[in-house]
Amino acid sequence: MNFIQNGGIIIAFLGAALAVGLSCIGSAKGTGMVGEAAAGVISEKPEHFSKCLILQVIPGTQGLYGLVIWFFALNVMGAFSGGIQPLTFMQGLTIFVACLPMAIGGPTSALFQARVAVSSINIIAKKPDDWSKGIILCVIVEFYAILCLLASILLLMNSL
């Protein structure tokens, strides 16, 4: 019974940790995939390094979005205004659920975006002047990561 009354802070921290942790895992895996593909192109044509680097960075944004949600969640909990506030179980669960769009959508979109970026590395290898088309394809996937970010922010703003 004591956990139900006072366990809200644990649940809230868990949601914030999942949002940043899972998003960073997805971004790390995604940027790694693109880096592996880019290494092959760069070994043959080192002049394409900057183009490959831009494509590699793109799946990393979801990790940053997860960090933003982590900050928002901690702000809602009062971490930046004098100390963590005690939360009921329901308040903690509300914060946890508000973090879920980023915790689920962040890593998923990072991996799908990485697949598009890996394919776009092939554009650089075959038609380097058309590399911006690959960026546009990656940005379309980015839109859904931004929607997850926005959903979590709006839910957190109205959580307590």
Q: State how far the Cα of 84 lies from the Cα of 25, in Å rounded to an integer.
A: 27
Q: pLDDT over 70 for what percent of the chain?
A: 96
Q: What is the pLDDT of residues 14-72, one digit of tens each?
A: 999 999 999 999 999 999 999 999 999 999 999 999 999 999 999 999 999 999 999 99
Is residue 4 pLDDT above 80, yes or no? Answer: no
What pLDDT shows up at residue 58? 96
**Mean model confidence pLDDT for the chain:** 93
Angle of the 8-44 helix axis to the 89-126 helix axis, nearest 10? 10
For the chain, give me the number of helices (H) and strands (E)? Answer: 6, 0
What pLDDT does 109 receive?
97
Ordered by start, the domain boundaries in the chain are 2-157
Query: What contacts 5, CB < 8 A, 6 or more positions away?
Result: 88, 89
Give the pLDDT of residue 74: 95
pLDDT digits (tens, 9 = 90+) for 139-154: 999 999 999 999 999 9
What does each C-alpha distance from 58 to 35, 110, 128, 132, 147 come to in angstroms? 11, 9, 18, 13, 16
Residues 124/55, Cβ–Cβ less than 8 Å? yes
> What is the percent of the chain with per-residue pLDDT over 90, rounded to a whole number?
85
Q: Say which CATH topology domain 2-157 has.
A: Four Helix Bundle (Hemerythrin (Met), subunit A) (1.20.120)
Q: Is 156 exposed, middle or buried (0-12, 13-18, 19+ CB in 10 A)?
A: buried
